Structure 1
Amino acid sequence: MPDGAMRIDQWLWFARLCKSRGLAQTLIGQGLVRLNRQAVAKAGTPLRPGDEVALPQGRQQLRLKVLALAGRRGPAAEAAGLYLLLDRLPRDDDV
């Protein structure tokens, strides 16, 4: 992995946006996760601070800006500092 980057599936789990890394990999495999407005094809795709991530969460679509990478899955308060919520919109398939 390049310096200053980490796997997107791992970051989604560390940031507590997915309950498990396996769930993150499933969402990526289904083409539901976007990185900088491009669908992510592989769970090992590198993610860097400043990137924009979009993913479904329940009946909503979240759009986030990555603020930091993580070295572990910490408490929720620590995880919340890893990203900035840009948008929380209804999912297209719910309309």
Structure 2
Amino acid sequence: MERQRLDKWLWHARVVKARTHAAALVEAGHVRINGIREKSPGHPLKVDDVLTIGLDRCVRILRVTGFSERRSNAADAKALYDDVSDAAGRS
């Protein structure tokens, strides 16, 4: 798989609890892809895209490292991204 819908990826990576919440988050303008605000939940993601997500009074910065066919446990979900939020905060 080379690409995946933004809302589906957010749900598979366990950033949100439901795919409808992922779509609402994107449509509300709380997600940026490579620094550009995205309002389409169906926008295709590719490996190495960097997502900036405003969520629950904090900002998460995630680099996409892979995709999944379905939602699995939290440990497997962490393999779908690198969390670069901490590295950005220390710079």
TM-score, normalized by length of structure 2? Answer: 0.90
One-letter code aligned to 2:75 = A
Aligned to 2:26: 28
Instruction: Note the aligned Cα RMSD (angstroms).
Output: 1.4
% identity of equivalent residues: 33
Give 4+ residue runs of structure 1 displaced > 6 Å after superposition.
none
Match of 1:55, as an amino acid? I
Could you give the per-residue CA deviations for residues 23-55 of structure 1, whole angstroms, max 9, x where no partner exists? 111111111111111011211000011100011
Aligned to 1:19: 17
| Normalised TM-score (structure 1) | 0.86
Runs of 5+ consecutive residues of structure 1 not aligned to the other structure: 90-95
Count the aligned residue pairs: 87
Higher helix share: 2
Q: 1:64 aligns with which of 45, 58, 62?
A: 62
